[in-house]
Amino acid sequence: MAFFKGYHIRGIGRFGSIMKVLIKHGLGDLGERLFRRPAERTDDSAKGSPVVRQGFPSPRRLRLVLEELGPSFIKLGQLMSTRADVFPPEYIDEFRRLQDRVPPESDEAIIKVIQSDLRRPLTDIFKSFTNESIAAASVAQVHLAELFSGEKVAVKVIRPGIRKKIQKDILLMYALAEKIEKSFEIGRIIGAKNLVTEFERTIFRDSGWFIGNAVQAESNRGGKDRFAGTTTGADAPAGVG
């Protein structure tokens, strides 16, 4: 399997996993074109199947591949669903079907994130906090809470460790995008690397977790601590899918 020159990515086995997913969904020839050196390609791949000749798989197959590759690629597909200026309607329709639902983190993990980020006990921040999330996605989940002022708020909490995982996936996306642009004219037309750059900028646009919109939290001392709409954190990309 050819290594992607210019990218030093730990866990090169991830490329093998992607190849397996492509084969599973009938896109093995596309994988051959992307991952194999010319001398390693099969005769069918060298001649060029319809997928290779066209340079782009069917909308449905592409959606299924993105779904199986996991949360980061699902979110990339969701971003692509907003780019009607780049993709035909049939692709936009399939990208919009991508769902990003995963089981919520444990109560203990979420409380630890909040208390670590704001450096104070949960009981000093909220009058009440609902442990059960009302929405959960791969990047964050949302909980209901009540401030000491009596205001009810929605608390969006970034999943612990998600930033590092997404950063690794973004490195992989850049490597794939570079290969796609080199291998297919359609890759250059849609600007594969630019799409990854836009994805990276979007998902890390607002680091941290936030409480509703510009809410105020009262401290136990009777004063008021004003939290901006976004409180930065060291391990937190933006977005609930």
Give 168-224 pLDDT, tens digit per residue.
899 999 999 998 898 888 888 889 999 999 998 888 764 444 443 323 333 333 333
Confidence of residue 161 (pLDDT cuts 50, 70, 90): confident
| Mean pLDDT across 76-86 | 92
At 141, the pLDDT band (50, 70, 90 cuts) reads: confident
pLDDT at residue 223, as a whole number: 35
33 confidence band (pLDDT: 50, 70, 90): confident
Distance CA(142)–CA(156), nearest Å, equals 4
And the tokens for 186? 């359609």
Give yes or no for a contact between 46 and 24, defined as CB atoms under 8 angstroms apart: no
Q: For residues 191 and 178, is the Cβ–Cβ distance under 8 A? A: no
Instruction: Give 7's pLDDT tier (boundaries 50, 70, 90).
Output: very low
Answer yes or no: are the C-beta atoms of 81 and 95 closer than 8 Å. Answer: yes
| Size of the chain in residues | 241
